């Protein structure tokens, strides 16, 4: 019988995956396994995977080929979106893979390990339905200052390019009592900032017709949790960013003035083909309304370039809208066709070279606009949640309410506290300041 002492877990992809890894790790630690930071030292290797783009999957496939050559007597497992997406195909292709565990089976990890030890067979658990009991499992967090809390799992939107509804299933909101309980539990452990997570947090509560608690209501409830100083959330779908939500953002002391507001494209033709359900005019209207209510709000976006049939004119529209809005954070991706999505039926007819050119053009614009924004922040005073010691071991790093990174010299004892910092300069994407 195998004796297991240590495990290594590697997370790919989004913050939801990071949180799922923490849930898995907590259970393995409850079984007295020790987490190690080098895979060579581990008896169990777990890859918690992402399928959002082809590149994300390729990285994991590369790792699995590597283990094929040199598995030793380790147990190797794949969790997350690739387990959901590829299912048995993965087990067949990689006979040395011991298990796959889906996004709705996080609490089954120890049962899977027991089965492998007893039977020495390939094991799988990949349910499509929301996992019972997950609401009341509070993972141990590594970060002692800030933590994510899952509030809704899955997505009902079926944007034509996106695999997430297949890998994470339909939307299921978590019970509000258990969310509040976890937030209080984290606050008692000293956590100062929480990020509410979901593929689409703004749909919170809509899947429960009898529930009167929608996303803005949840924010009002969480704002009252003692000890929590800041509340953030992601991701939002623009169609669900309602006036009530904007008012909550304006009026609640702890809810930070930053919204991830993924635009994806600025051409109505492409937005329609993406099934985003809004036009560029609606999108801009919402952004302008948000900015009129909260003048200092910062806005993040995701953009996909090179979607099928994206002409130079379509890209130009994206470029102009991107320039007009002046985003504060931007994740820009080259389109990558995903199996069984609606868009995978369209011809992927934009060359990789053109996709990369468009991506670089937007990135250049983003950095140019960012410089103008940082110039304006010089001379302002910002509230910073001090998160950690900087790599130079001399200064401290933290973030403003509006999500800008800040570096300043001060005593490490201040880690975990809110401080006011006078912004003097900036370098790359970090503001540099002095403690007041
Ligand atoms: N190709 C490229 N980018 C994608 N995204 C989602 N699916 C794809 C795809 N097939 C991007 C979207 C989404 C972010 C998480 O990933 O911009 O908002
Ligand atoms: Fe994917 Fe669209 Fe759902 Fe976001 S809203 S997870 S892009 S289907």
The CATH number covering residue 46 comes to 3.40.50.12160
Query: Which domain does 118 fall in, by range?
Result: 6-125
CATH code for the domain in which residue 431 is found? 2.40.50.140
How many angstroms separate the alpha carbon of residue 333 from the centre of ligand 1? 7
- Residues 387-400 have a mean pLDDT of 94
Q: Does 66 fall in a domain? A: yes
Nearest atom of ligand 1 to the alpha carbon of 334: 2
pLDDT of residue 131: 87
Q: Does 31 fall in a domain? A: yes
Distance CA 385, CA 406 (A): 9
Task: Answer yes or no: is pLDDT of 2 > 80.
Answer: no
pTM: 0.94
Q: Does 30 fall in a domain? A: yes
How many angstroms separate the alpha carbon of residue 148 from the centre of ligand 1? 21
Q: Does 53 fall in a domain? A: yes
* Predicted confidence (pLDDT) per residue in 327-340, tens digit: 999 999 999 999 99
Ligand nearest to the CA of 53: 1
Task: Answer yes or no: is pLDDT of 5 > 90.
Answer: yes
pLDDT of residue 120: 85
Q: Does 294 fall in a domain? A: no
Task: Answer yes or no: is pLDDT of 212 > 80.
Answer: yes
Residues 170 and 226 placed together within one structural domain of the fold: yes
Residues 56 and 119 placed together within one structural domain of the fold: yes
Task: Answer yes or no: is pLDDT of 368 > 90.
Answer: yes
What is the best residue among 237, 261, 265, 344 to mutate for testing ligand 2's pocket, by most ligand atoms within 8 Å of CB? 237
What is the best residue among 15, 152, 158, 164 to mutate for testing ligand 2's pocket, by most ligand atoms within 8 Å of CB? 164
Nearest atom of ligand 2 to the alpha carbon of 276: 2
How many angstroms separate the alpha carbon of residue 302 from the centre of ligand 1? 8
Last residue of a domain, one of 97, 125, 153: 125
Residues 13 and 102 placed together within one structural domain of the fold: yes
Q: What is the mean pLDDT of the chain?
A: 95
Residues 150 and 243 placed together within one structural domain of the fold: yes
Residues 198 and 98 placed together within one structural domain of the fold: no
pLDDT of residue 1: 61
What's the pLDDT band for 289 if we cut at 50, 70, 90? very high
Q: Does 422 fall in a domain? A: yes
Q: Does 290 fall in a domain? A: no
What's the pLDDT band for 27 if we cut at 50, 70, 90? very high
Weakest mean pLDDT among 111-115, 128-132, 221-225, 338-342: 128-132
CATH code for the domain in which residue 222 is found? 3.30.750.210
Q: Does 298 fall in a domain? A: no
Residues 171 and 230 placed together within one structural domain of the fold: yes
Task: Answer yes or no: is pLDDT of 217 > 70.
Answer: yes
pLDDT of residue 129: 86
pLDDT of residue 70: 78
> By percentage, how much of the chain surpasses pLDDT 70?
100
Residues 16 and 110 placed together within one structural domain of the fold: yes
How many angstroms separate the alpha carbon of residue 334 from the centre of ligand 1? 8
- Residues 273-279 have a mean pLDDT of 97
Last residue of a domain, one of 207, 238, 256: 256
Residues 120 and 148 placed together within one structural domain of the fold: no
pLDDT of residue 210: 86
Q: Is 157 close to ligand 2, i.e. is its CB under 6 Å away?
A: yes
How many angstroms separate the alpha carbon of residue 52 from the centre of ligand 1? 6
Q: Is 50 close to ligand 2, i.e. is its CB under 6 Å away?
A: no
Residues 100 and 165 placed together within one structural domain of the fold: no
* Predicted confidence (pLDDT) per residue in 29-79, tens digit: 999 999 999 999 999 999 999 999 999 999 999 999 999 887 888 999 999
Task: Answer yes or no: is pLDDT of 89 > 80.
Answer: yes
Q: What is the 3-state secondary structure (H, E, C) of the chain?
A: CCCCCEEEEEECCCHHHHHHHHHHHHHHHHCCCEECCCHHHCCEEEEEECCCCHHHHHHHHHHHHHHHHCCCCCEEEEEEHHHHHHCHHHHHHCCCCCEEECCCCHHHHHHHHHHHHHHCCCEEECCCCCCCCHHHCCCCCCCCCEEEEECEECCCCCCCCCCHHHHHCCCEECCHHHHHHHHHHHHHCCCCEEEEECCCHHHCCCCCCCCCCCHHHHHHHHCCCCCCCEEEEECCCHHHCCHHHHHHHHHCCCECCEEECCCECCCHHHHHHHCCCCCHHHHHHHHHHHHHHCCCCEEEEEEEECCCCCCHHHHHHHHHHHHHHCCCEEEEEECCCCCCCHHHHCCCCCCHHHHHHHHHHHHHHHHHHHHHHHHHHCCCEEEEEEEEECCCCCEEEEEECCCCEEEEECCHHHCCCEEEEEEEEEECCEEEEEEC
pLDDT of residue 338: 96
Last residue of a domain, one of 256, 288, 308: 256
Residues 17 and 90 placed together within one structural domain of the fold: yes
Q: What's the domain count of the chain?
A: 3
Residues 220 and 118 placed together within one structural domain of the fold: no
Residues 10 and 121 placed together within one structural domain of the fold: yes
């Amino acid at each position: 019988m195998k004796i297991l002492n240590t495990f290594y877990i590697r997370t790919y992809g989004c913050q939801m995956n990071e949180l799922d890894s923490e849930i898995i790790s907590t259970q393995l630690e409850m079984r007295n396994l020790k987490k190690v930071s080098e895979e060579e030292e581990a008896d169990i290797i777990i890859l918690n995977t992402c399928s959002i783009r082809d590149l994300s999957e390729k990285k994991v496939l590369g790792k699995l080929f590597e283990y094929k050559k040199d598995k030793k007597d380790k147990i190797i497992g794949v969790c997350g979106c690739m387990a959901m997406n590829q299912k048995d195909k993965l087990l067949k292709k990689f006979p040395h893979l011991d298990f796959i565990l889906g996004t709705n089976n996080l609490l089954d990890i120890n049962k899977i390990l027991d089965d492998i030890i007893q039977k020495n067979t390939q094991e799988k658990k990949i349910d499509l339905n929301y996992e019972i009991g997950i609401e009341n499992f509070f993972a141990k967090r590594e970060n002692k200052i800030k933590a994510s809390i899952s509030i809704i799992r899955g997505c009902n939107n079926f944007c034509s390019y996106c695999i997430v509804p297949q890998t994470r299933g339909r939307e299921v909101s978590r019970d509000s009592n258990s969310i509040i309980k976890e937030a209080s539990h984290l606050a008692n452990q000293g956590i100062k900032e929480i990020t509410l997570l979901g593929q689409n947090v703004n749909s919170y509560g809509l899947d429960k017709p009898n529930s009167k608690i929608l996303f803005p209501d949840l924010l009002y409830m969480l704002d009252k949790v003692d000890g929590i100083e800041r509340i953030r959330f992601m991701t939002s779908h623009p169609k669900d960013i309602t006036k009530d939500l904007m008012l909550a953002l304006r009026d609640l002391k702890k809810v930070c003035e930053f919204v991830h507001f993924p635009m994806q494209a600025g051409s109505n033709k492409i937005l329609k083909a993406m099934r985003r359900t809004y036009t560029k005019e609606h999108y801009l209207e919402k952004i302008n309304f948000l900015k009129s209510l909260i003048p200092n709000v910062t806005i993040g976006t995701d953009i996909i370039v090179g979607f099928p049939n994206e002409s130079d004119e379509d890209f130009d529209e994206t470029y102009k809208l991107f320039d007009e809005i002046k985003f504060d954070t931007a994740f820009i991706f080259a389109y990558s066709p995903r199996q069984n999505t609606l868009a995978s039926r369209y011809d992927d007819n934009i060359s990789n070279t053109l996709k990369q050119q468009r991506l670089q053009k937007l990135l250049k614009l983003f950095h140019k606009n960012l410089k103008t924004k940082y110039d304006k922040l010089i001379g302002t005073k910002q509230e910073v949640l001090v998160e950690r010691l900087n790599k130079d071991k001399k200064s401290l790093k933290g973030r403003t309410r509006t999500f800008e990174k800040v570096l300043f010299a001060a005593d490490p004892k201040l880690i975990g506290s809110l401080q006011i910092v006078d912004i003097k300069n900036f370098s790359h994407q970090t503001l540099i300041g002095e403690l007041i």
